[in-house]
Amino acid sequence: MDEEYAGDGRERGGVAPAVAPNGAPTGAPVDGRNAAPYTDLAGVYDRLMADIEYDEWAAFIVRTAARRGLPSGSAGSGLLDLGCGTGNATLPMWELGYEVEGLDASSAMLAAARKKLPGIVFHLDTFEEFSLGRRFQLVYSVFDALNNLLTEAAFARCLARVRDHLVPGGVFMFDVNTPTGLRELWLDGVSEGWADDVYYRWTHTYDEESGLATVEAYCETGEGSFVEVHQERGYATPDLVRLLAAAGFADVAVIEYPDGQPARPDAERVWVVASSP
């Protein structure tokens, strides 16, 4: 995405073009069609995420998991990229020599992933229900994917599925936005600009009562426009530790990227690393 864009809107502001490509003044109601989450977005996702540091995230995951025994390259039982989307965080693991599979609930996102990585196995399934019939050395998830689990109960169901897909001593590592992050970064924020030939205007809100953040993601290209509404729940460090421990994970650590130090209480975004007993 353009310099001013911050991934999925975690930085606010952005450079606002005076007039959107559809002629609407910025801030005016959009006229794109309403699309289900991660359907139309799949077609423009990689253009929006062009500047995201997936390689560095992959290196951070490998470095952290290696301290817990993740073997390098093709040794070991393989990796699972949970919420792999279009495969942007699957690709660097494959490039590092790991046997990696991906899982996502969006067939549109997976279609892009399969096109990008034809030799890799991708599973169409949900975080709460997947059952792949095998275990992995490392399950990882990046870029807020698990914030899409909107209740603690849903989060706990996902943790149980992950636990049952790890070899003994295997590692689970993922990033999440905290409530602080969603409150600070998404509250009444607008991210707007251009990514390649995609005009985007993403409007964020945060509801204190429900603890849910909502983004209305408007995108427009020469081929048309759409709006997708996405929601996220933030997860705070104490809640993450409690949920992972309850799911049977050991050595739960909540850290920050890129130094791997324990997460500060006011961290907006944290990484969780935990081991299978």
Ligand X SMILES: C[S@@+](CC[C@H](N)C(=O)[O-])C[C@H]1O[C@@H](n2cnc3c(N)ncnc32)[C@H](O)[C@@H]1O
In the bound complex, what is the minimum distance in angstroms from residue 149's beta carbon to ligand X? Answer: 6
Q: What is the pattern of x (binds ligand X, CB under 6 A) and - over residues 144-173?
A: xx--x-------------------------
Two structure tokens written together for 223: 């081929």
Contacting residue, 1, 5, 30, 38, with ligand X by CB under 6 A: 38
Helices (H) and strands (E) in the chain — how many of each? 7, 12
In the complex, residue closest to ligand X by CB:
85
Residue 20 or 52 having the CB closest to ligand X = 52
In the bound complex, what is the minimum distance in angstroms from residue 192's beta carbon to ligand X? Answer: 19
Residue 244 near residue 272 (C-beta atoms within 8 A): yes
In the bound complex, what is the minimum distance in angstroms from residue 18's beta carbon to ligand X? Answer: 29
Amino acid present at 132: L
In a 3-state reduction of DSSP, which class is residue 47? helix
Max alpha carbon distance in the chain (Å)?
57
Amino acid present at 230: H
In the bound complex, what is the minimum distance in angstroms from residue 48's beta carbon to ligand X? Answer: 10
Residue 20 or 100 having the CB closest to ligand X = 100
Residues 238-267 within binding reach of ligand X (CB under 6 A): none
HSE (side-chain half, CA atoms, 13 Å) at 213: 29
In the bound complex, what is the minimum distance in angstroms from residue 25's beta carbon to ligand X? Answer: 29
Asked if 84 interacts with ligand X (CB under 6 A), we say yes
CB proximity list for 249: less than 8 A, separation 6 or greater: 159, 163, 172, 274, 275, 276, 277
Bond before 258 cis per omega within 30 degrees: yes
Residues 88-147 within binding reach of ligand X (CB under 6 A): 88-89, 104-106, 109, 126-127, 142-145
The H-or-E segment that residue 161 falls in is helix 152-163
Residue 20 or 143 having the CB closest to ligand X = 143
Amino acid present at 245: A
Residues 3-22 within binding reach of ligand X (CB under 6 A): 8
In the bound complex, what is the minimum distance in angstroms from residue 142's beta carbon to ligand X? Answer: 5
Q: For the purposes of burial, counting CB atoms within 10 Å of the CB of 239, is it exposed (0-12), middle (13-18) or buried (19 or more)?
A: middle
List residues binding ligand X (CB under 6 A).
8, 38, 49, 83-85, 88-89, 104-106, 109, 126-127, 142-145, 148
